[in-house]
Amino acid sequence: MKLPIIRQFYQNQTPENLETALEVLESFSEFRGTTEEDLNVVGEMITDICGALEVHQNVKNGMSEREALNGFAQKVLGSIDKN
């Protein structure tokens, strides 16, 4: 997860574009010829896209961009700490 990338996706892409990209990456990850390195990169991109989608939703619900970005980061870091 990289907040600058999430911010870039949020600021420059519509939720519809992000959903389309997410579908493509998920499909790619299911291809049996995908290497572990590919999966690591795709997994990182999926996380960043999901973050941008969540930021879009939270801003739509009244949160500031900064609060939405920080909230997503805390959620991800919190889930990592629990493992």
pLDDT, tens only, 53-68? 999 999 999 999 999 9
H helices of 1-82, in order, are 3-12, 15-29, 36-60, 65-82
Q: Is the pLDDT of residue 83 over 90?
A: no
Share of the chain above pLDDT 90, in %: 78
pLDDT, tens only, 10-32? 999 999 999 999 999 999 999 99
Phi-psi category of 62—alpha, beta or left, where left has phi over 0 and alpha has psi -120 to 50? Answer: left
CA distances from 79 to 16, 23, 56, 72, 76 (A): 26, 23, 21, 11, 5
Residue 81 is predicted with a pLDDT of: 60
Provide φ and ψ at 25, rounded to 5°: -65, -40
The pTM score is: 0.87
